[in-house]
Homo-oligomer: A and B are copies of this chain.
Amino acid sequence: MIHLESDYNNGAHPDVLQRLVATNDERTQSYGDDHFSEHACELIRAACEAPDAQIWFLAGGTQTNAAIIDCVLQPYEGVLCADTAHINVHEAGAVEFTGHKVIALPSCEGKLETAALQEWLAAFFADDTAAHMVRPGMVYLTFPTELGTLYTANELHAIRAVCSDYGLRLYVDGARLAYGLAASADVTLPLLARVADVFYIGGTKCGALCGEAVVFPKSDAPAHMLSRIKQHGALLAKSRVVGVQFEVLFAANGNAPLYLTLGHHAVALAMRLRRLFVEQLGYQPYIDSPTNQQFYVIPNTDLENLRQHIGFEVWCPVDKHHTTCRFVTSWAVTDEEIDDLEHVL
């Protein structure tokens, strides 16, 4: 039985755990003011080629999105996103809870399209009644998207240009960033740091027990971030717990950081899974995802057998005879598990 329900159904990468054990007895300051967190920040700055980046460690993704979006937006501004975006669909209204409208635009394969964005903004700023509408203040992207797809570097540059034209900030939700970076031909951490005003490097789904690293690469975070993070209930007293983990994930030991290595591993397994499903089993991809989330249209008659061997998530019905299902690899899935799958299916 292989568990592909999600990339948060396990603990942490062994190196991360081991470092938590090794550092356990040391006493440090709290609220981010410890040498583990400081070192992790240095490593992330280096990986992003953003030497002045401001970095905060938070506990989870929804919390990070709600806190960062609220801190960066003015109180009267809203956030633009794809209609499939996590903040629009699956965060229980956490952004609206802080008073901001989520302005959802039609999307294509999980991606916000530059042209649609540009058109919406042009119409908004040409509208005589704009003062009675929610003013857009930010564009929110996920990388990879909720459907596993990726923006190319060119697409990110184009969206960045639109944001700049209209005075919007660009925020990238990197809950699964490791997998996106591993699968992308041209998007890297330094590129993200150049195009985004703020983004987060997801830990929870990419090797950590818990924790996300918020990066303001241009060092232009709003004032009093520590107080505001606390006001959102998102300040960790013992934030070293996340700091230690990111220290391991971004350790510069001559090779690629562990964070990227884990991403490559999961993506390689996802490609093996794709070959198995498409070439061996003849399933049709629901969407062409190059990352660790894979979606296939499964004949309903096959579901029972699949469930004997794989844990997965039903995504949506297709028609009377087919169902789209999601299969998620992660750093924790092994080659052997995919081997086994190839044998039994």
- List the interface of chain A (C-beta within 8 A of B): 3, 5-6, 8-12, 14, 17, 20-21, 23-30, 59-67, 70, 74-76, 78, 89-94, 96-102, 128-129, 131-135, 204-205, 209-210, 223-224, 226-228, 230-238, 240-241, 311, 313-314, 332
Contact = CB atoms under 8 A, between A and B. Distances in A.
A130 to B, nearest CB: 8
A235 B210 CA distance: 12
12 contacts: A9-B30, A25-B332, A59-B236, A61-B237, A65-B233, A91-B132, A91-B230, A92-B230, A128-B314, A131-B226, A209-B238, A209-B241
B62 A76 contact: no
Nearest to A30: B8
Contact of A24 (B12, B66, B91, B205): B12
A190 to B, nearest CB: 28
B12 A27 contact: no
Contact of A94 (B10, B61, B230): B230
A17 B24 contact: yes
A96 B96 contact: yes
Contact of A25 (B11, B61, B76, B132): B11
Contacts of A26: 10-11
A96 B93 CA distance: 10
B62 A233 contact: yes
Contacts of A10: 24-28, 238
A97 B233 CA distance: 10
A12 to B, nearest CB: 7
Which 7 residue pairs spanning A and B have beta carbons closest together? Answer: A63-B233, A11-B24, A3-B27, A92-B230, A93-B134, A92-B231, A96-B101
A269 to B, nearest CB: 15
Contacts of A227: 76, 92, 131-133, 135
